[in-house]
Amino acid sequence: MRIHFERTGGFMGRKVTFDLDTADLPEQELESLRQILAEANFFDLPDNLVTRPVPDEFQYNITVTTETIIHTVRTSDAASP
């Protein structure tokens, strides 16, 4: 499984990215990550959770790639619970 995280926006408009290949994780951490994704129902979330743009807020793109699915969710500070 691979995870790509991207944060954009904010006051400075600076882009931050992070890529994780779970093949590099210890089994216990991988299992914790799988549990977090399952509890969040990540693969059932809509592609876009942003309701309306807000000036200077952060926006996030999170892509999880498995052997059978690629799912990206776009969200923002205002869309977070």
Q: Is the pLDDT of residue 81 over 70?
A: no
pTM for this model (two decimals): 0.88
Residue 40 forms part of a structural domain: yes
Backbone phi, then psi, for 78, in 5-degree steps? Answer: -70, -25
What average pLDDT does range 60-76 have in this prediction?
A: 96
Backbone phi, then psi, for 54, in 5-degree steps? Answer: -120, 130
Residue 81 forms part of a structural domain: no
Q: What is the mean pLDDT of the chain?
A: 93
Residue 12 forms part of a structural domain: yes
Structure tokens belonging to residue 31: 């299992």
Measured in whole angstroms, the distance separating CA 75 from the mean position of its chain's CA atoms is: 8
What average pLDDT does range 33-59 have in this prediction?
A: 92
Residue 19 forms part of a structural domain: yes
Q: Quote the number of domains for the chain.
A: 1
pLDDT digits (tens, 9 = 90+) for 8-21: 998 888 899 999 99
Host domain of residue 65: 2-76
